[in-house]
Chain A
Amino acid sequence: GENVEQHPSTLSVQEGDSAVIKCTYSDSASNYFPWYKQELGKRPQLIIDIRSNVGEKKDQRIAVTLNKTAKHFSLHITETQPEDSAVYFCAATLYSGGGADGLTFGKGTHLIIQP
């Protein structure tokens, strides 16, 4: 089955600086890579995702890059703000259309934005 490794487990950055979280996956067949943000006591919320036919995707201050050859993908957050503080999870799955595919998650990165 799929295995997703995520680094670092904790990341502390100064407000206004950039943050980068990296993930690797094991199953070359995986084709969908979402990122979720989870605030304390809340549900995981989808913030951005990328499919295997795309190398990069951007949405305002967040971006995700995918390197299929190396089987790794990264989340980039620029101009970090206090409200970015949360746990971020990467995930991977093979989406086959019509099938019920669960996500395999990384172990999470606790992002701390220092004022």
Chain B
Amino acid sequence: DAKTTQPTSMDCAEGRAANLPCNHSTISGNEYVYWYRQIHSQGPQYIIHGLKNNETNEMASLIITEDRKSSTLILPHATLRDTAVYYCIVRVEGGGADGLTFGKGTHLIIQP
């Protein structure tokens, strides 16, 4: 079973910030939080990952709570092309021998 829980679906208005929550209350000390998204009929796309500090890249920001039991992915200015299923996954960084365990993810729908 996936070690994360996410809302099934969310709506967000185009141009607004999309905030996607994820709970990972059983995360281990050496596990990172990874975010991927999957646009319909495509392979998953890596977005961002982090351990305990907040992270930002050209796609998104990742906010991890101090106790690391939850996190939020922020898409600062959502566009229609951001409509996708977003997956929050915990994994040991450098866990090259392990595949990823996908939960059901959050279906984010950006409304025009």
Partners in one complex: no
Chain A residues at the B interface, C-beta cutoff of 8 Å: none
